[in-house]
Chain A
């Protein structure tokens, strides 16, 4: 079974530029998550999708970050314009839906963003 795929793996941009990350979850997983992991900290949830609907985006800086999952499969996360403090690893995770408590989340390798 293929895991969660993310691209690109690395990205370097200058502040005020825009950038987009792509995630393809495990086939059949209805729930998709984007996390931000700043160096020296644990991952922080940015947004959670259930199929193509947003479940939780309370921690997403909506003035500059946006995310979509139009067909309920793959997803893109965009930052426009980027700030220095956006330098981090952006992790995508997916899990199967259902009533079972705390379905395991499977993580992709992440995209390391450096903003200069």
Chain B
């Protein structure tokens, strides 16, 4: 079955440091890939997505590129801020419309110190 593997956490960085969070996946078909973020006390929010190979998703300074050859979707940001402190989940979805469902990784907690 489909699965998503995220690097082990937590991750603690100083403000303005570079961030890379690794994510690899296993899927039978051609999934869409997502990064969700969960800020303290809030629900999950879609951060970015990519629907086909070589697509790059980007939002709020974060980027991730769909790499089919390495089955990866690593999340990157050049300069993190304290406000980026949150839990980040990598996820995939196969199927269309009502038949699509998300498979999540375990999530990783990012803490950014001033």
- A residues touching B (Cβ–Cβ < 8 Å)? 3-4, 30-31, 33, 40-45, 48, 50, 55-56, 91, 93, 95, 97-105, 107-110
Query: Are B96 and A99 in contact (CB-based, < 8 A)?
Result: yes
Name the one of A55, A105, A110 contacting B99, with C-beta atoms under 8 angstroms. A55
Interface residues of B, dominant DSSP: strand
Give the 6 A-B CB pairs with smallest separation, nearest first.
A42-B104, A107-B44, A102-B32, A50-B98, A107-B43, A101-B96
* Contact status A43-B102, CB under 8 Å: yes
Task: Report which B residues bind A (CB closer than 8 A).
Answer: 4, 32, 36, 41-46, 49, 51, 89, 91, 93, 95-107
- Is A91 a contact of B43 with CB atoms below 8 Å? yes
Least CB distance from A43 to B in Å reads: 5
**Can you show 27 pairs from A to B with CB atoms below 8 A apart?**
A3-B43, A41-B107, A42-B89, A42-B107, A43-B89, A45-B103, A48-B98, A48-B101, A55-B98, A56-B101, A91-B43, A91-B44, A97-B97, A97-B98, A100-B97, A101-B32, A101-B51, A101-B96, A102-B93, A103-B97, A103-B100, A105-B46, A105-B102, A107-B45, A109-B41, A109-B42, A109-B43
User: Is A44's CB under 8 angstroms from B106's CB?
Assistant: no
Tell whether A98 pairs with B99 under 8 Å between CB atoms, given A40-B106, A42-B105, A104-B46.
no
User: Which one, A41, A56, A99, A108, contacts B97 given CB within 8 A?
Assistant: A99
